[in-house]
Structure 1
Amino acid sequence: MIREQLKGSNFMALSENQKLFLSLINEYAAEKSQGEQSVVVLKKRTEELRSELEVANVELENVKRVKETTEQELKGCEVELSLNETAIQTLEARISVLQGEIASVGSELDSLKVVGGATRDQFINHLLDLNKKIRKFQDQLSRKNAIKSVGNATEGSHELEGDNTTTSSQSIEERLIKVMIQLANEEEEFLSAEQIQKSANVDKSGEKEGCDGDDGERNKRIGRFD
């Protein structure tokens, strides 16, 4: 009786142990299955992360290349900016020099205007004086011809008068030649000064109109000689 009870209790204990063992096996199998699934998921996630890492590395390389290109362009711009600043300084210095030259040329032009005006007036005054001398010479010639026409009273007086007239005529002709030479020289000087003035006034049309007005006035005054 007791043996049967022991056998029954042993059987029950063995059955409990088997159940526990089977339960442990089932739990292990379930955990193993879950672990395998987790490993698969982790492997998949690892592959995804590797792909993302590769893409990120490619983008990083592109960004590095863009950065290097931008830095090179920036250095080029800095060099170009420095060259432009140097060119600007050179141009500013050149402009300053040109402004000084323009001011100097303006002063010379004003001086030439004054000299040209004085020379023109002097030339016109000489022409007026010459016109008086020519008229005086013409009057003297007229008187000489009148003396020749009425001076036949005596041969002696005629010869004396002829000698005096010849001497007077030669003296007047010499004076006229000297005056004409002087006039030619002065006219040459005047034309030279006028040419210099015209060269200085090439770029100033307003000054040209003023010169044309002066030339017209001069022609009016010279027209009185005829």
Structure 2
Amino acid sequence: MIREQLKGSNFMALNENQKLFLSLINEYAAEKSQGEQSVVVLKKRMEELRSELEVANVELENVKRVKETTEQELKGCEVELSLNETAIQTLEARISVLQGEIASVGSELDSLKVEGGATRDQFINHLLDLNKKIRKFQDQLSRKKAIESVGNAAEGSHELEGDNTTASSQSIEERLIKVMTQLANEEEEFLSAEQIQKSANVDKSGEKEGCDGDDGERNKRIGKFD
């Protein structure tokens, strides 16, 4: 009876040990399977990370090249900016010089305008004076012709008077030639002064109208001589 109980106890203990052993085997197998699955997952993840690393390295190289290109462009822009600043300073200095020259030319132009106006008035006054002299000479020539006509009618009795008239006629002609020469010289001087004034007025847009008005007035006043 006791032996049977002992055998039953041993059998039960053996069954329990077997169950425990089987349970441990199953747990080991399950853990091994899970470990293998984890290894597969980790390997797959490692491959993904390697691919991502390669992509990141390529992007890094691209970024480095872009950085180098940008730095070179920046240096070029800095050089260009420096050159532009130098050019601006040069242009500002040139503009300052030109402004000074413009002011100087403006002063000279004003002086020439005043001088040209005085010269023009002086020339017109000379023309008026010479016109009076010419009219006077014309009157004298008319009288000379009348005297010559009278002398031809009475040539024998007025021989001495005819000689004096001839001498007077020659004197008048010489004076007339002298006056006409002086008139031509005065006109040449006036045209020279006028040409200088027109050259000085090239940069003045409104000066041409003023000169045309003065020429019209001069022509109007000269027209009185005819």
| TM value normalised by structure 1 | 0.83
Shift of 1:151: 5.7
Specify the SS of the correspondent of 2:133. Answer: helix
CA distance in 2 between counterparts of 1:157 and 1:113 reads: 63
Residues 151, 158 of structure 2: 8 Å contact kept: yes
Specify the SS of the correspondent of 2:153. Answer: coil
CA distance in 1 between counterparts of 2:159 and 2:205 reads: 65
CA distance in 2 between counterparts of 1:18 and 1:154 reads: 191
Shift of 1:130: 0.9
Shift of 1:187: 1.0
| CA distances 1:88-109 after superposition (whole Å, capped 9, x unpaired) | 2222222222222222222222
Partner of 2:22: 22
CA distance in 1 between counterparts of 2:48 and 2:5 reads: 63
Shift of 1:168: 2.5
CA distance in 1 between counterparts of 2:196 and 2:152 reads: 58
CA distance in 2 between counterparts of 1:169 and 1:117 reads: 39
| Cα 1:47–1:149 shift into 2, 3 Å | closer
| Cα 1:155–1:27 shift into 2, 3 Å | closer
Structure 1 residues 68-77 or 156-165, which shifts more? 156-165
| CA distances 1:172-193 after superposition (whole Å, capped 9, x unpaired) | 2222222222221111111111
Structure 1 residues 108-117 or 11-20, which shifts more? 11-20
The answer to which structure, 1 or 2, has the higher relative contact order (CA under 8 A, 6+ apart) is: 1
Partner of 2:197: 197
| Cα 1:18–1:116 shift into 2, 3 Å | same
| CA distances 1:94-141 after superposition (whole Å, capped 9, x unpaired) | 222222222222222222212221111111111111111112212222
Residues 116, 194 of structure 2: 8 Å contact kept: yes
| Cα 1:164–1:29 shift into 2, 3 Å | same
Shift of 1:205: 4.4
Residues 128, 225 of structure 1: 8 Å contact kept: yes
> Structure 1: 5+ residue runs without aligned partners?
none
| CA distances 1:60-85 after superposition (whole Å, capped 9, x unpaired) | 22222222222222222222222222
Structure 1 residues 52-61 or 4-13, which shifts more? 4-13
CA distance in 2 between counterparts of 1:4 and 1:135 reads: 184
CA distance in 2 between counterparts of 1:208 and 1:143 reads: 47
Residues 130, 179 of structure 1: 8 Å contact kept: yes
CA distance in 2 between counterparts of 1:153 and 1:8 reads: 202
Specify the SS of the correspondent of 1:145. Answer: helix
CA distance in 1 between counterparts of 2:152 and 2:12 reads: 200
Specify the SS of the correspondent of 1:202. Answer: coil
CA distance in 2 between counterparts of 1:16 and 1:153 reads: 190
| Cα 1:157–1:125 shift into 2, 3 Å | farther
Matched-pair identity in %: 96
| TM value normalised by structure 2 | 0.83
CA distance in 2 between counterparts of 1:177 and 1:93 reads: 59
CA distance in 1 between counterparts of 2:43 and 2:149 reads: 150
> Structure 2: 5+ residue runs without aligned partners?
none
Residues 144, 165 of structure 1: 8 Å contact kept: yes
CA distance in 2 between counterparts of 1:114 and 1:173 reads: 38
| Cα 1:9–1:150 shift into 2, 3 Å | closer
- Equivalent pairs, count: 226
| CA distances 1:136-187 after superposition (whole Å, capped 9, x unpaired) | 2122223333444446899898333233323332332222222222221111
